[in-house]
Amino acid sequence: MTPELTRLTAVETAAKIAAREVTAVEVAQAHLDRIAEVNGTLNAFLHIDTDGALTQAKRVDAGEVEGPLAGVPLALKDVIVTRNVPTTAGSKILEGWIPPYDATIVERMRDAGIVVLGKTNMDEFAMGSSTEHSAYGAAHNPWDLERTPGGSGGGSSAAVAGFLAPLGIGTDTGGSIRQPAAVTGTVGTKPTYGGVSRYGLIAFSSSLDQAGPCARTVLDAALLHAVIAGHDPRDSTSIDADVPPVVDAARDGDVSGMRVGVVKEFAGEGYQDGVTVRFEEAVATLAGLGADVVEVSCPHFDYALAAYYLIAPSEASSNLARYDAMRYGLRVGDDGDASAEEVMAATRAAGFGAEVKRRIMLGTYALSAGYYDAYYGQAQKVRTLITRDFENAFTTVDVLVSPTTPTTAFKLGERVDDPLAMYLADLCTIPSNLYGGPAMSVPCGLSDDGLPVGFQVMAPVLADDRLYRVGAALERATGSDRLLEQVTNL
C-alpha cells in the first residue's frame, strides 16, 4: 500500500480514484492501516467499521456511485446514528447500542460515495471542549499528544489532523466543530441551523445542534458541506431552500469589496498573545486582499456564554431523559425486585459521566417552576438580543470575524476539574449557535507556542458561502492548507 495516500486532500483523492490511478479500496485500506498504526496513540476512533468501509469502497470502484467525493474516506463523529454500526455518543449508557436506522446525512454521504471509516471519539453527548468527558478516554492532539484536540468533536479533528481521514463530520452546539478545528489546524464549519438535517443526530440541545464538515482544506470542507446540506422532510427545523453556493465560493475565494467586521468584544483579557497576533495578521491579510475591515460592537455577546449554559443544559435535561434503561442501552440494578424508577436511577447514575450529570442538574433547575423566568426564560430573551446584535451588524458588514477560541490547545487535565475554565473555550463560538447563522474556523498560522490558531468567520443565516469565500482567501494567502505538513510526530 502507498502510505502517501493518507496525505492527499479529499479533492486529490477523488481525482485519483476517478482517473483510476488508484482504487477506492486501496484508499480505504491505506487509511485503515494508518488507523491501525496510530489510533492507539490518538484514541480518535471509538469504532472502526472495516467491513462497511471496504463494501462502500467496492461500490465506488464498481461505478455504482459517483460524485466529487466518491471514494473519499471520512471519520464520523459517534453522535451520528448509523444502521448496524455501534453508536454511543461517547457515553457508557449507549455502550453496545446498534441502531436500526441511518441518519439522513449518513444516507446522503453513502449516495455520494463517501467511505465512512468508523465512529470518532467525543465528549459524552457532545458536552465538553476537550474529549476528556468521553466515557472511552480522551483523544489526543496530533500536534502535541499531551494536549487536547478540542471538543466535543476532538476525535474527528484528531483524525483529520493526524491523517487518519481527509474528511470528518462533527456537530456543533456551542463550538464543537470550530474549536477542535482551531486547536488542530484544520477547517471546520457549523452550517446555518436548519441547513443540514438533524435527523439521526443524537440530540444534545435541539435548538442549537448542527452537523457540519471537518477537513484539511477549505474546498474539501465545502464539497462535504454540499453533500450533507439541503432540505430534509424528516426534520421539521430543516430549511426548504437552495443550498448556498459553498463550493463555488471556495473555488473563487475573492474578498475584494467584502465588508468584514471585527467583533470588538472578542479581544483583550483572556486572549493568548500568540492568538491575538495571528488573528490581527489575518485581518490585515484580508484587508490587503481588498476587504473593507471595520470594528463592530455586539454588546450582548458578553452574555452569550451565560445564556448558552442555561439554554443548552435545559434542552439537554429533557433530551437525555430517554436514557432510562427501558428500551435500549444500559440497564443497571434490575435484580427482579427493584422498581422501574429505581432501575432508571441506578442506570443513569452508573451510565452518565460527571459533566452530563452537572448539565442535567443545571438544566432541570433552570426549567423548574419558580426559576424558569429568571433562568431559562431570561436566557431566551438574551438569545433574542444576541440575534439582534448579529442582524444589526449584518446591515453594515458581510461577515463578522474573531479568534475561534481564546487560547491554543490546552493540556489534557488542565481544565477538567474546573468547568467554568472549560466553558471559556467556547466563548467566541457560542453566539452563532444562539443566532442560528453559519460560522467557520480556518487556520491562520501557529502561535508562538508552536500550536495552531483558528480564525473564525461568521455570516448571516443562509449565507454560508461567504464563510468559504473568506476562508479560501485566507488559506491561499497564508498557505494554511500546508500547515499540517508540520505534523510529523506520528
Partner 1 sequence: MTTTLGAYDDVLDRYAPVLGLETHVELGTATKLFCGCSTAFGAPPNTQVCPTCLGLPGSLPVTNEAAIEFTVKIGLALHCEIATWCRFARKNYFYPDMPKDYQVSQYDEPLCTDGYLDVVVGGEAFRVEIERVHLEEDTGKSLHVGGATGRIHGATHSLVDYNRAGIPLVEIVTRPVQGTGHKAAEVARAYVTELRDVLRDLGVSDVRMEQGSLRCDVNLSLMPAGATQLGTRTETKNVNSLRSVERAVRHEVERQGARLDAGERVVQETRHFHEDSGTTSPGRSKEEAQDYRYFPEPDLVPLAPARELVEGLRATLPEPPSVRRAAFAEVNGFTAIDLEQMVNAGVLDLVGETIAAGASPTKSKGWWLGYLVGRANELDVEVSELAITVAQVARISELEDSGELTNKLARQVADAVIAGEGDVDAVIESHGWKVAGEDELIVAVDAALAAQPDIAAKIRDGNQGAVGPIVGAVMKATGGAADATRARELILERAS
Partner 2 sequence: MSDSELDAMAGQLDVILSAVGRVQQVAAADIPPTSHAVPLTNVFRPDTAAAGLSAEEALAAAPAAEQDRFRVPRILDDE
Alpha-carbon gap, residue 87 to 409, rounded angstroms: 27
Residue 357 near which of partner 2, partner 1, none (CB within 5-8 Å, type-dependent): partner 2
Please count the other Cβ atoms lying within 10 Å of the Cβ belonging to residue 98: 11
Alpha-carbon gap, residue 452 to 179, rounded angstroms: 11
Residue 198 near which of partner 2, partner 1, none (CB within 5-8 Å, type-dependent): partner 1
Q: Which stretch binds partner 1 (CB under 8 A): 24-32, 42-50, 67-75, 80-88?
A: 80-88
Comparing CB distances to partner 1, the nearer of 21 and 341 is 341
Residue 116: phi and psi, rounded to 5, are: -80, 120
Comparing CB distances to partner 1, the nearer of 178 and 383 is 383
Alpha-carbon gap, residue 135 to 78, rounded angstroms: 12
> Per the residue annotation, which of 16, 77, 92, 190 is the catalytic one?
77
Residue 27, C-alpha cell as written in the block: 484508499
Q: How far is the CB of 450 from partner 2 (least distance, A)?
A: 32
Asked whether position 372 contacts partner 2 by CB under 8 A, the answer is no
Which residue bears the cell 485566507? Answer: 474
Taking the alpha carbons of 7, 9, 12, 15 in that order, is the dihedral positive or negative?
positive
Asked whether position 192 contacts partner 2 by CB under 8 A, the answer is yes
Number of residues that bind partner 2 (CB under 8 A): 62
Which of 251, 380, 414, 476 touches partner 2 (CB under 8 A)? 380
Taking the alpha carbons of 399, 220, 217, 288 in that order, is the dihedral positive or negative?
negative
Alpha-carbon gap, residue 400 to 33, rounded angstroms: 41
Alpha helices per DSSP H over 400-480: 419-423, 430-435, 464-478
125, 94 in Cβ contact below 8 A? no
Q: Which stretch binds partner 1 (CB under 8 A): 33-41, 312-320, 398-406, 467-475?
A: 312-320
Asked whether position 192 contacts partner 1 by CB under 8 A, the answer is no
Cα dist. 301→160, 315, 433, 437, 468 in Å?
Answer: 31, 21, 12, 14, 23
Residue 365, C-alpha cell as written in the block: 433547575
Asked whether position 334 contacts partner 2 by CB under 8 A, the answer is yes
Asked whether position 347 contacts partner 1 by CB under 8 A, the answer is no
Helix (H, G, I), strand (E, B) or coil at 171: strand
Q: Which stretch binds partner 1 (CB under 8 A): 96-104, 114-122, 183-191, 283-291?
A: 96-104
Reply yes or no on whether 77 is catalytic.
yes
Chain centre distance of CA 1:
31
Alpha-carbon gap, residue 258 to 290, rounded angstroms: 8
Which of 309, 390, 394, 410 touches partner 2 (CB under 8 A)? 309
Alpha helices per DSSP H over 62-174: 104-111, 154-161
| Cβ-Cβ contacts under 8 Å for 345 (sequence gap 6 or more) | none
Asked whether position 364 contacts partner 2 by CB under 8 A, the answer is no
Q: Which stretch binds partner 1 (CB under 8 A): 195-203, 218-226, 271-279, 453-461?
A: 195-203
> Per the residue annotation, which of 91, 130, 156, 176 is the catalytic one?
176
Category of 333 on φ-ψ map: left (φ > 0), alpha (ψ -120 to 50) or beta: left
Residues 423-482 within binding reach of partner 1 (CB under 8 A): none
Reply yes or no on whether 176 is catalytic.
yes
Which of 1, 294, 321, 374 touches partner 2 (CB under 8 A)? 374
Comparing CB distances to partner 1, the nearer of 23 and 380 is 380
Binding mask 449-468 for partner 2 (x = CB under 8 A): ------------x-------
Alpha-carbon gap, residue 437 to 198, rounded angstroms: 16
Comparing CB distances to partner 2, the nearer of 221 and 325 is 325
Asked whether position 331 contacts partner 2 by CB under 8 A, the answer is yes
Which of 264, 378, 449, 476 touches partner 2 (CB under 8 A)? 378
How does 321-358 read in b/e, with b if 16+ C-beta sit within 10 Å? Answer: eebbbeebbbbbbeeeeeeeeebbbbbbeebbbebbee
Q: How far is the CB of 481 from partner 1 (least distance, A)?
A: 33
449 burial level (CB within 10 Å; 0-12, 13-18, 19+):
middle
393, 261 in Cβ contact below 8 A? yes
Q: How far is the CB of 100 from partner 1 (least distance, A)?
A: 7
Which of 4, 327, 335, 485 touches partner 1 (CB under 8 A)? 327
Asked whether position 303 contacts partner 2 by CB under 8 A, the answer is yes
Asked whether position 378 contacts partner 1 by CB under 8 A, the answer is no
Which of 97, 292, 414, 476 touches partner 2 (CB under 8 A)? 97
Q: How far is the CB of 74 from partner 2 (least distance, A)?
A: 25
Reply yes or no on whether 190 is catalytic.
no
Alpha-carbon gap, residue 121 to 148, rounded angstroms: 12
> Per the residue annotation, which of 152, 238, 317, 432 is the catalytic one?
152
**CA gyration radius, the chain:** 21
Between the two ends of the chain, the Cα-to-Cα distance in Å is: 18
Which are the catalytic amino acids?
77, 152, 176
Residues within the interface to partner 1 (CB under 8 A):
80-81, 87, 89, 94, 97, 99-101, 103, 198-203, 205-207, 233-237, 314-315, 317-318, 321-322, 324, 326-328, 336, 340-341, 344, 364, 367-369, 372, 376
Residues within the interface to partner 2 (CB under 8 A):
97-101, 192-194, 207-208, 233, 236-237, 239, 300, 303, 306-307, 309-310, 325-331, 334, 336, 338-343, 349, 354, 357-358, 361-362, 365-366, 374-375, 377-385, 387, 419-420, 433-436, 461
